[in-house]
Amino acid sequence: MLGKGNVKIGKFKFNSQWLVGAVILAVIGVGGWQISNLVLNREEPVAVRLLPVKRGTVESTINESGVVELRDQQILTSPTEGAVERVLVQPGDRIQAGQTLITLRYPERQTALANQEVKIQQQRRILERHRLQIAEAKEQIRADELKLRPLVAGAKEGAISRVQVYEQEDKLRETRAKLRDAQADARTAALELEALQLERKRIQQEVQDSIVTAPIDGVVLGVNVKNGDGVEFRTNLLTVGDPRQVLVKLQLSTLNATQVRPNQLARVRAIGSDRQTFTGRIQSLYPQAVKAEEAEPSGGSQKTSKSSSSEQPAVPAIVLLDTPTRTLIPGSRVNVEILLKQRQNVVVLPTEAIQREESEPFVWVRDSQGNAQKRLVKLGLEGLTNVEVTSGLDLGDRVIIPTSESDLEPGTPVVAQ
């Protein structure tokens, strides 16, 4: 009995060990399958461009094109018709105010001026002669009066005949009459001299019209005529300007003009490979929108640059550069960037980093586990290429710049390109 009982117990132990081993093997098999499944199904990290959050400057600007001019730039025109006698300057020459630049041929006026000078000299001699006659008559009157006094006294005493007194009085009257005549002749001669001088001034103005002089200190920008050319009244002769100050004339669109104010900062760059930047300020803004050919902001002699569409009204404006420059060529077109608003030392991101979902802005950031996560943000000033982030990000956060190829979901593992 005991022996049989022992046999049953042994079998039971053997079966229990086999069962435990089977369970262990099953557990190991299931765990291995799960681990294998996780390894096989793990997502490949997406390569993205990462940008650390930093502080910077955001600007709101508008861009226009303009034409370079010098301060007081103007076209000098012919004051009369005739012919060019001599051109005394060439482009690039420095000039001073009052300097003769071009002379026109006007010989008959020169002759008339010389003849008028002769007439004036003759009339001056006539006037001088009448004035001398006046002085002589006055001197004679004084002598006659001195001679008359003792005769009158002697006649009263009976020592001198009354006839002598009468003769001296007649002589005094004649001298006074000569004085009046001389004075009248002198007044007439003076009026005639004044008339001759006025005529000379008119002729001098005509002669002066044949001489084109510099209105300012500056430089010659261009010459339109040469010696011997015939010109009509108001023919363009040459262009001058003051290189010490440079202007840029704009034709602002009406939409942009509403945002522009005098004294706003402007940056000017030449069109082409030369990217040197010059700063200036909005000097003036025309008070109304007009067609490009209807008005000039500065009231100068040249038309402002026309807008891209002559049918569209534009608002003329002028930018005055802070410093003179020899790089910008008068008459050339330049790019003008007008600064409207600016935020400095703020959190800045490129506009391409900002995503929107139902009008709510957000960005993708990489978390500490290396996965992509959405982060709602609030935006401030938006510029052309970057934007101010007022909340939602901290300095040092790594923002993901998504691409068209990257299909991000929250939790997607990402690696830096």
336-349: per-residue pLDDT in tens? 999 999 999 999 99
pLDDT exceeds cutoff 70 at 381? yes
pLDDT at 278 (0 to 100) = 92
Mean pLDDT, to the nearest integer, of 382-406?
88
Mean pLDDT, to the nearest integer, of 214-229?
94
Distance CA(147)–CA(257), nearest Å, equals 93
pLDDT at 308 (0 to 100) = 45
Mean pLDDT, to the nearest integer, of 208-225?
90
Q: Enter the tokens of residue 44.
A: 């490949």
pLDDT at 164 (0 to 100) = 87
Provide the mean pLDDT of the chain: 84
pLDDT at 336 (0 to 100) = 94
pLDDT at 52 (0 to 100) = 92
Mean pLDDT, to the nearest integer, of 303-321?
71
pLDDT at 156 (0 to 100) = 85
Distance CA(378)–CA(368), nearest Å, equals 23
Mean pLDDT, to the nearest integer, of 203-226?
88
Mean pLDDT, to the nearest integer, of 134-150?
91
DSSP 66-88: EEEEEEEEEEEE-SSSEEEEEE-
- Residue of 22 and 393 predicted with greater confidence: 393
For residues 79 and 209, is the Cβ–Cβ distance under 8 A?
yes
* For the chain, percent of residues with pLDDT exceeding 90: 56
pLDDT at 310 (0 to 100) = 53
Mean pLDDT, to the nearest integer, of 395-409?
84
pLDDT at 23 (0 to 100) = 53
CA proximity to 268, closest of 315, 317, 310, 307: 317
pLDDT at 260 (0 to 100) = 94
Binned at pLDDT 50, 70 and 90, residue 274 comes out as low
Coil/strand/helix, residue 308? coil
Coil/strand/helix, residue 191? helix
pLDDT at 359 (0 to 100) = 82
Q: Enter the tokens of residue 314.
A: 């534009």
pLDDT, tens digit (0-9, with 9 covering 90-100), for 90-131: 999 999 999 999 998 876 777 888 899 999 999 999 999 999
Mean pLDDT, to the nearest integer, of 15-38?
53
pLDDT at 300 (0 to 100) = 44
Binned at pLDDT 50, 70 and 90, residue 292 comes out as low
pLDDT at 324 (0 to 100) = 85
pLDDT at 106 (0 to 100) = 73
pLDDT at 303 (0 to 100) = 45
Distance CA(387)–CA(379), nearest Å, equals 7
pLDDT, tens digit (0-9, with 9 covering 90-100), for 58-95: 999 999 999 999 989 999 999 888 889 999 999 999 99
pLDDT at 36 (0 to 100) = 44
pLDDT, tens digit (0-9, with 9 covering 90-100), for 229-244: 999 989 999 999 999 9
Burial of 338 (0-12, 13-18, 19+ CB in 10 A): buried
Distance CA(227)–CA(220), nearest Å, equals 17
pLDDT exceeds cutoff 70 at 21? no
Contacts of 103 (CB under 8 A, 6+ apart): 84, 85, 86, 88, 210, 211, 212
pLDDT exceeds cutoff 50 at 134? yes
pLDDT exceeds cutoff 60 at 141? yes
Distance CA(270)–CA(268), nearest Å, equals 7
